[in-house]
Chain A
Amino acid sequence: MSGPSTYNPKSGLERWIDARLPLPRLLHDTVHTFPTPRNLNIWYTFGGILAFCLGVQIVTGITLAMHYVANANLAFNSVETIMRDVNYGWLIRYIHANGASMFFLAVYIHMFRGLYYGSYKAPRELLWIIGVLIYLLMMATAFFGYVLPWGQMSFWGATVITNLFSAIPVVGSHIATWLWGDFAVGDATLNRFFSLHYLLPFIIAGVVVLHIWALHVPGNNNPLGIDVKSPQDTVPFHPYYTVKDAFYLVLFVILFAAFVFYSPDFFGNPDNYQPANPLVTPPEIVPEWYLLPFYAMLRSIPSKLLGVLVMGGAIVTLVFIPWLDTSRVRSCRFRPLMKQFFWGLVVCCVLLGYCGAQSVDAVKFGIPMVWVARIASIYYFAFFWLIMPIIGLIETPKKLPASIAQSVLGDKAAAPAE
């Protein structure tokens, strides 16, 4: 997508197509010869894994939509019909349901990898921001999707989340009514959520194209965080990274399949096997695991409006990271101080997730969980708005290697390329 093209049409047909629509040239330059740093590690395979996840969700989702009925009276049983009477319907639904969890697992690893190696820093700011946008779209899509089976947790989850908008002063309750299409979560809500759940993945796919485009202009960052300086620093994407990505993808699929075939309800909530009932509130309303850290932040703040603002702020913060990090060095590998604060952030996010799964007044090991959530939330914001700018200024980074090739190949790098 960038740099001089190395495509060389071999046959007359290829030349004919290339002169009219250079699609083969585009593919050749992006997935075949694309020069990729030779030192990418396992954490860099998650981009490809995420593309796979999106594909799986779209294919299984379209198939499920052929049998699903978006109607408050029929939705629950239509899902059970898929599970019982549609050929391999159980398989398709379990792949789709667990696929959402796998998608988020991969995206969280992908995001933390970007944070650790400074992949958001110039010239990759837009690449990062587009990524945040994809993450936001993913959360919306997953939320809409979770509502569709119309079980108890679907219904009450939708009620809790849409009610958050009513915290906005003056217009809040009108916005909630507008979102519902009714005066409560009901058939109209279910229908529009289904419509949006079908639409958003294609928007995600479009934004993913932008993400890859924005990746291919500056090229990949790498674990050293230093720029590619010579062709010796890179290898062609194919076969080097096609084979590496494929291997790690299959390992990922093994984990995926273990859930689908042996513990398909692992990420689910038993309450969602009870049909939605507006008259019975479940004792605990819990979102899916991948939204729990934000849910914990929301609940740790006594004021609803403030809680919503903090939760929204936690995501909006991500957009500013490229400018909050003042360090000249990208990779945490050479940032001894930042590395420790980074792991602190990982721990806090996991803690927040844990707190989000507990009841509001839970006390574990004598510690009220709401306070754990509060401290972890404070660290989350402090990490980005205070620690990141300050550490970048005061930290003395370790010495960077001269080049990727030298770091990987050692003395061999000095030898002329064959």
Chain B
Amino acid sequence: MRLTNLSLGIALGLLTSVSAFAAEGVSTKRLHPKAAEFEFEGPFGTYDRGALQRGYQVYKEVCAACHAANLLSFRNLAEPGGPGFTEAQARALATAAKIPAEPNDKGETTDDKGTPLMRSATLADRFPSPYPNENAARASNSGALPPDLSLIVKAREGEAHYVYSILTGFHEKAPAGFKVTEGKYFNPYFEGWNITMPPPLTENGVTYSDGTKATIDQQAHDVVTFLAWAAEPKMEERKRMGFGVMVFLIVLAGLLFAAYRKVWKDAH
């Protein structure tokens, strides 16, 4: 189902891009995001645990090389409504990550050779950032700043569909007459069509431990699910509570309507 929609989306996308191109020369307005399907959509949608765990792997092995996610801590990985790692698993993931250490007993932050002191992260620590500061990030990325991914899904028009379309939109061919800027990549879902980010996902670029085939679409679906959770970690709690609230309010409205009818019976 997802794949059918996807191909339909690509076909439509190409059609619109061609017609837009024909109509007014080179219009580099971004295409409408693809109509991908995610388990977390709809009033009863929840995050797919498997997708969250696989998505974390894609984030860690691929995205985190350039992107920070400053609002996330390792403890979040074991919190309810999240990827569903056990506390021990989350702690192991934290321990494997190295982050800049606090000043040691002598007040030093580097060793004798000037290398920054590092330590293992704990559950309380935030995810490590790939660059020490913005300038370093820009210097490594042809002047562009890889945005922080903590809120990326909520910070873009089109939300999850937008991020998914960006990740899977690289293989499309630039229309004749559109010249891709030197050092950039063609992506029709990105405003201006020139994106500095190189295609991040490759077929089997990650190896899933649960046997899921790591196609580009699958990786994109998984990492977008993970990023959607990162942006809205309380979504499941929100929808669950919302259901209870709605039932309560509808029953209350029914009772009040009965009371209203009774009180007003002879008044009009």
The interface of chain A, by Cβ under 8 A from chain B, is: 38-39, 77, 80, 83-84, 90-91, 94, 235, 239-240, 243-244, 246-247, 250-251, 253-254, 257-258, 260-262, 264-265, 270-271, 273-274, 283, 408-409
Contact = CB atoms under 8 A, between A and B. Distances in A.
B151 A240 contact: no
Contacts of A91: 238, 241
Given A38-B267, A83-B234, A239-B263, A250 B252 contact: yes
Contacts of B246: 254, 257-258, 261
Contact of B155 (A39, A246, A270): A270
B231 A254 contact: no
Nearest to B157: A270
B151 A273 contact: yes
Contact of A254 (B147, B239, B249): B249
Contacts of A239: 263
Nearest to B243: A261
B245 A273 contact: no
A148 to B, nearest CB: 17
Contacts of A271: 155
A257 B245 contact: yes
B253 A262 contact: no
Contacts of B156: 270
Interface stretch (B108-116, B182-190, B254-262): B254-262
B159 interface: yes
B80 interface: no
Given A253-B249, A270-B157, A243 B267 contact: no
B242 A260 contact: yes
Contact of B159 (A90, A246, A270, A409): A270
B241 A250 contact: no
A84 B71 contact: yes
B233 interface: yes
Interface residues of B, number: 35
Nearest to A275: B148
Given A91-B238, A257-B246, A257-B249, A262 B260 contact: no
B43 interface: yes
Interface string B40-84: 000100000000000000000000000000010000100000000
Contacts of A273: 151, 154-155, 231
A244 B264 contact: yes
28 contacts: A38-B267, A39-B268, A84-B76, A84-B233, A90-B237, A94-B238, A235-B267, A240-B264, A243-B256, A244-B264, A246-B260, A247-B253, A247-B257, A250-B249, A250-B256, A257-B245, A257-B249, A261-B238, A261-B241, A261-B245, A262-B43, A264-B238, A270-B155, A270-B157, A274-B147, A274-B151, A274-B155, A409-B268
Given A253-B249, A273-B154, 12 more contacts: A84-B233, A94-B238, A235-B267, A243-B263, A254-B253, A257-B242, A258-B246, A261-B239, A261-B242, A262-B242, A270-B157, A274-B155
B250 interface: yes
A102 to B, nearest CB: 14
B221 to A, nearest CB: 21
B239 A262 contact: yes
A260 B244 CA distance: 13
A240 B257 contact: no
Nearest to A272: B155
Please indicate which of the listed interface residues A84, A271, A409 has the most CB atoms of chain B within 10 Å of its own CB. A84
Contacts of B234: 83-84, 90
Contacts of B242: 257, 260-262
A48 to B, nearest CB: 13
A270 B152 CA distance: 9
B136 to A, nearest CB: 17
A80 B147 CA distance: 17
Contacts of A253: 249
Nearest to B191: A283
Contacts of A408: 268
Contacts of A235: 267
B72 to A, nearest CB: 9
A236 to B, nearest CB: 10
List 4 tightest A-B contacts by C-beta distance, closest first.
A261-B242, A273-B155, A247-B256, A90-B234
A412 B231 CA distance: 62
Contacts of B263: 239-240, 243
Contacts of A90: 234, 237-238
Contacts of B237: 90
Contacts of B43: 262
Nearest to B239: A261
Please indicate which of the listed interface residues B151, B231, B233, B259 has the most CB atoms of chain A within 10 Å of its own CB. B151
Nearest to B253: A250
B71 A77 contact: yes
Nearest to A94: B238
A254 B191 CA distance: 38
A183 B234 CA distance: 39
A258 B268 CA distance: 33
Contacts of B259: 243, 247
A146 B268 CA distance: 45
Nearest to B79: A84
Nearest to A250: B253
B29 to A, nearest CB: 11
Contacts of B253: 247, 250-251, 254
Interface string B223-244: 0000000010110011101110
Contacts of B231: 273
Interface string B198-235: 00000000000000000000000000000000010110
Contacts of A243: 256, 259-260, 263-264
A244 B260 CA distance: 6
Nearest to A244: B260
Contacts of B76: 84
